[in-house]
Structure 1
């Protein structure tokens, strides 16, 4: 039998797991990790964290390692709870199952107990983590949020007459590389959304209030993570982040060695290309053709774009300049 209530407990096994997980995550698995806005996670208050979801279990580890003093309860898909042994193991790690329609209609009723237990976690001034996209993708795009997190938030508030000071904290997780060992990771925490600020809207129209909160959380997460909304030209946007980052950093006086500055560069580049797609589609098409040709030539030559960013000698300058002329007619200085 799976003992769901144990998810609220912190046993010696969990403490040992968290100790190892935090240090492995920050010191071994990644070459460098930056956390910003961690101070936005309130202490001794009910906190509902809603991160973007792009890298399966690794996303949960990023949230877990962000603040070592917290011991959040996570909601995860139920298929990992395939046996009582595995179920109780994950429960001991403070993970609760969520059942979906694909798990069978007969199992959906089990979500009521999970729902009630989630409310209890918040009522005890603890931290609950729900991935509001409800699925993960290996792309730098935020999916349309599902309503689950919003329902938990409003149900908790309504049950407590909106006198509970529930904070919804939106993090944005941005990976340098989804699969590469010793890559870099940035986790941005935004300003908390206080559920009490939605009380009037909820009293007037609960369904409308749910959609408003969902929209506000969607926008918050999109601002805190790398979000390429244009699926048709996704590869062009991705390549542009690599191609123009050095140019933008120089213009904006940003240091690309700082992950938060690299993030700012990426957001500016993506915004620029979004503007081109919407207002100057012909110009965007020109850039797309040149960018595609450039990266195709790089691939054929087995070279990387960063080789052109910062040559360190006169000889290097001459070699890089020659290669640049051969590989691409694109003049990136005209882009910004």
Structure 2
């Protein structure tokens, strides 16, 4: 019961937190039978929450054992489908409990249920896959062994790709890969369990790497992000059949490969290009305009619908703003006051958001219903969340419109620097085309 309540609450919270969520490959999730979901781990407990609210089946999670600090906490975590696992480097005195935990997982899968595992064993906000542990393979193969490999466990890899999980109204692309069956490991596991576990672990690693943007060399990460901002929209035109989120993901994968290739084969030109693209974006930041204005100067112009939207939407915006501003500010204050690891920032905002907004909403509804009646209280309650979403969207549209007006002002007053930036942008795009063709020719 508690799991279902939290799933619904977090679904609303996640939907409000992210600007866009796109999930590809949900048809790869088995509708029934034992399943182990494996995913990369970028943002602490935001990752399991994001996946749990978008997967129709109840999910059980392997969680850090040191978090189960008391009998009460363990009971509550159990209601939330959390299963403790103990790491030798963190809780060496309790590692012996893992034998019983593994058996619990075997029994769990034997009843046709699911388990979510983050096999890297650590959360860190980087665009790469850290070395993964063998626990997933050991649990999957161990469960099959106890059922003479007739259980039918499926391992489903999932790649989570955030634009930035710690920013409110950011984007996320999730891709669910094809499932991994275990029949092929039966003979190998019976003959050499350790070898079979390592083989399956390597396969899981390979599958996960295909589902995420991999930037192994962190020194090129900023360059990749700059190229994404500048070049992805141009390349996107060649993939009109794909959803924008899918396009951006696949293009980012190719951009990383092209950057690595050009750094190795055209190092002088690559470093010169890197300096110039940084110069370009620093100039944009100084002028407080976005690259999209140079790419598409007419974007966000005052189209016929926009002015009526601002005029007639203003009362709704004011209402949504007033009833949501206090919880929003409270979440921001708490997020700044609480010191956490870098990978926990987004997760804490998400958790604070759910609880703080829920508390404020309940208090506001009680006060409003007391002053009016419960019928109006219900109507008021139903208006709070959509009112907040409308206010966020209204503000976003307004800031984009202001950015367009700022661009027009700068273009009129500072024609020469704007012209220089436009020429620099064109030169950068030409250089990117050269580098791209050089990379593509190397693949032939």
TM-score normalised to structure 1 length: 0.87
Q: Distance in 2 between matches of 1:101 and 1:177?
A: 31
CA distance change for structure 1 residues 43 and 78 in 2, over 3 Å: closer, same or farther? same
Pick from 115, 130, 137 the counterpart of residue 150 of structure 1: 137
Residue 222 (structure 2) aligns with: 235
Aligned pairs, how many?
A: 322
Match of 1:32 in 2: 20
Contact 1:241 1:270 in 2 (8 A): no
| Aligned counterpart in structure 1 of residue 428 of structure 2, from 315, 331, 335 | 331
- The 1:323–1:280 alpha-carbon spacing in structure 2 relative to 1, beyond 3 Å, is closer
- Whole-angstrom CA distance in 2 between matches of 1:79 and 1:308: 51
In structure 1, stretches of 5+ residues that fail to align are: 1-11
Please state whether the residue corresponding to 2:39 is helix, strand or coil.
coil
1:162 corresponds to: 149
Q: TM-score, normalised by structure 2?
A: 0.67
Describe the SS at the equivalent of 1:232: helix
Instruction: Tell me if structure 2 keeps the 8 A contact 1:228–1:270.
Output: yes
What is the CA–CA distance in structure 2 between the aligned matches of 1:18 and 1:252, rounded to whole Å? 35
Task: Identify the match of residue 282 of structure 2 among 293, 296, 313.
Answer: 296
Q: Is the 8 A contact 1:62 1:187 kept in 2?
A: no
- 1:135 aligns with 122
Residue 44 (structure 2) pairs with residue 56 (structure 1): yes
Whole-angstrom distance in 2 between the partners of 1:304 and 1:77: 42
Q: How does 1:89-104 map to 2 (within 5 A)?
A: 89-104=76-91
The alignment partner of 2:53 has SS state of helix
- Contact map agreement 1:254 1:261 (CA 8 A) in 2: no
Indicate the structure (1 or 2) with the bigger Cα radius of gyration. 2
Shift of 1:86: 1.8
Please give the per-residue CA displacement for 1:72-106, whole angstroms capped at 9, x wherever unaligned: 10011123222222221111100111111243321
1:46, CA displacement in angstroms?
0.8
Contact 2:66 2:91 in 1 (8 A): no
Residues 1-336 of structure 1 mapped to structure 2, 5 A cutoff? 12-26=1-15, 28-68=16-56, 70-253=57-240, 258-312=244-298, 322=419, 324-325=421-422, 330-336=427-433
Deviations, residues 116-138 of structure 1 (Å, cap 9, x unaligned): 11111111111100001111111
More helix by share: 2
1:230-261 alpha-carbon deviations (Å, 9 max, x no partner): 22322222322222111211244467x72112
Query: What is the root-mean-square deviation in Å for CA atoms of aligned residues?
Result: 2.5
Alpha-carbon distance change, 290 to 214 in structure 1, aligned in 2, over 3 angstroms: farther
Task: Provide the C-alpha distance between the structure 2 equivalents of 1:252 and 1:18, rounded to a whole number of angstroms.
Answer: 35
Cα deviations by residue, 1:256-284 (Å, 9 ceiling, x for unpaired) = x7211221221221222132234443443
What CA distance in whole angstroms lies between the structure 1 residues aligned with 2:296 and 2:187?
A: 55
TM-fit CA distance, 1:151: 1.2
